[in-house]
Amino acid sequence: MTPAPKHTARALPAAGIAELQGQFDTRCSVALAVREQHGRDESAFDVPPPQIVVFALSSAEVASTLALASRYDVPVIPFGGGTSLEGQLLAVDGGISLDVSRMDRIVQIAADDMLAVVQPGVTRKQLNDAVRTLGLFFSVDPGGEATLGGMAATRASGTNAVCYGTMRENVLALEVVTPQGEVIRTGTRASKSSAGYDLTHLYVGSEGTLGVITELTVRLRPLPEAVACAICSFPDIGAAIRTTIDIIQHGLPIARVELLDAQTVGMVNKHSHLGLREAPLLLMEFHGSPQSVREQTAIVEELASGHDGSAFEWETTPEGRTRLWTARHQAFFAALRSKPGCRAIATDACVPISHLADCMLASIEDASASGLPFALVGHVGDGNFHFAYLVDPLQPHEQAQAEALNTRLVERALSLGGTCSGEHGIGLHKRDFLLAEAGEGAVSVMRRIKQALDPGDILNPGKIFLP
């Protein structure tokens, strides 16, 4: 395990614990098992668990918890699905883990306006199950059972972002509880606004450091009339990337285009009991009318053939498409299973698509030369790719190798005009990289915003940047 950067824990006194227990009763726990569950995520950091866990059911309970924490000057760490990858939910300063996963009510579905109002514990799958019969769907799909509140907090994206955008484009309004326990609303149900500061998108991507999201108004999309899913194998990664660039530069409205390298395909085959050709692979999806989908797929087949793409296979049934996309979303867990007992040091970067081949190929060469096993997937339609370096937690030199690979990958992406994170966020892991990317001046502005909204530094302290 990787030790987290050192911080000074701030303890909630016995009187504060008694207040929480009096208000929440059985929905407040100091049991070690519960605290440990809320003191880890999918990152490799080793951090002591929070002091206490509270399960909130309403914005009023969130507000009272934050007011208490502000009074006692103790940290509060919002907790949703527990799937963050960069240490966002770790209690580096101790304090209260505020679990909002039980706030899972769909408040309203406004089909005519193509939007939904939901509590933060609602998952994308839950929302999609509720709106499918209305001919609608929620488009942001990072995989797993992430909650919409957590997805907004980390500005998540995923496989559909190349066509439908990220959480930034799909959140219209929020209800947020401030660090002082005040409930505020940002944004409206209108499709656009030029009224005042854009507070909605200040909170989207703030990683729980400025406020706790307790309600979201999100865009819904019409279900496409026709959907086709294709897989295509390539002789090398470069050919797959060049095909992707051709697809984007031709202006084809592809809904999803995902890249897996050969060894990751092998991991997925074993984990999900598939028989995909173990070569670099593009997994693509097309949405539209039956005629437009046929036209798109014909052009893409021609473009792929020009780069020696082969073994084109199509899935048009919902069951077949679900099987392939479920396997893709399980790639991270397939990688962990491939090396029993390992931990994954995960990272992502995003670059302009014209530099994607250079950045990805150099990063693959670097990782291969290290001897560490790794998994590679990419939302390559928008220049975003992910590595998971698989390390033995009992071998510090492997962790050091993985962190060195991560550093070189990020430096490479930044040198090409990219970003240190396309969707994982900053958390604990990428604080230094944010400084390198944005510069001291911009990070100083971020610090001043944090200080203005949270002068006591009680909300998720230590994340994104140091005070």
pLDDT (tens digit per residue) in 196-206: 999 999 999 99
Per residue in 235-273, pLDDT (tens digit) is 999 999 999 999 988 888 899 999 999 999 999 999 999
pLDDT at 3: 57
Mean pLDDT over 149-173 rounds to 94
Are 119 and 81 found together in one domain? no
Which percentage of the chain shows pLDDT scores above 70? Answer: 98
Confidence of residue 9 (pLDDT cuts 50, 70, 90): confident
pLDDT of residue 312: 83
The domain containing residue 279 runs over which residues?
226-332
Q: Which pLDDT does position 142 carry in this prediction?
A: 86
Residues 126 and 201 in one domain: yes
pLDDT computed for residue 358 by the predictor:
92
Tell me: pLDDT of 31 over 60: yes
Which of the listed residues 99, 114, 138 is the one where a domain comes to its end? Answer: 99
Q: Do residues 113 and 207 both lie within one domain?
A: yes
- What CATH number has the domain bearing residue 204? 3.30.465.10
Q: How many domains does the chain have?
A: 4
- Over residues 218-232, the mean pLDDT reads 94
Question: Is 242 found in the same domain as 206?
Answer: no
pLDDT over 70 at 2, yes or no: no
Percent of the chain at pLDDT exceeding 90? 81
Residues 270 and 365 reside in one and the same domain: no
Q: Is the pTM of this model over 0.85?
A: yes
Which of these three, 415, 432, 449, is where a domain ends? 415
131 and 150 share a domain? yes
CA distance 401 to 391: 9
Give the CATH number of the domain where residue 264 resides. 3.30.70.2190
Q: Same domain, yes or no, for 95 and 166?
A: no
What integer is the mean pLDDT of 426-431? 94
Decide if 441 is inside a domain: no
Structural domain includes residue 426: no
Q: Which of 66, 99, 132 is the last residue of a domain?
A: 99
Q: Does one domain contain both 327 and 354?
A: no
pLDDT at 105 over 70: yes
In a domain, 239, yes or no: yes
Q: Let me know if residue 318 belongs to a domain.
A: yes
Decide if 311 is inside a domain.
Answer: yes
Asked, for residue 447, whether it belongs to a domain, the answer is no
Instruction: Find the CATH number of the domain harbouring 397.
Output: 3.30.70
Comparing 193 with 7, which gets the higher pLDDT? Answer: 193
CATH of the domain at 17: 3.30.43.10
pLDDT, residue 130, reads 97
The mean pLDDT of 442-454, rounded to a whole number, is: 97
Q: Is residue 431 part of a domain?
A: no
Residue 445 domain-assigned (yes or no): no
Note whether 213 and 114 are same-domain residues: yes
306 and 253 belong to one structural domain: yes
My answer on whether 328 and 245 are in the same domain is yes
Q: How confident is the model at residue 319 (pLDDT cuts 50, 70, 90)?
A: confident
Same domain, 247 and 208: no
Which of 140-144, 329-333, 347-351, 378-382 has the highest average model confidence (pLDDT)? Answer: 347-351
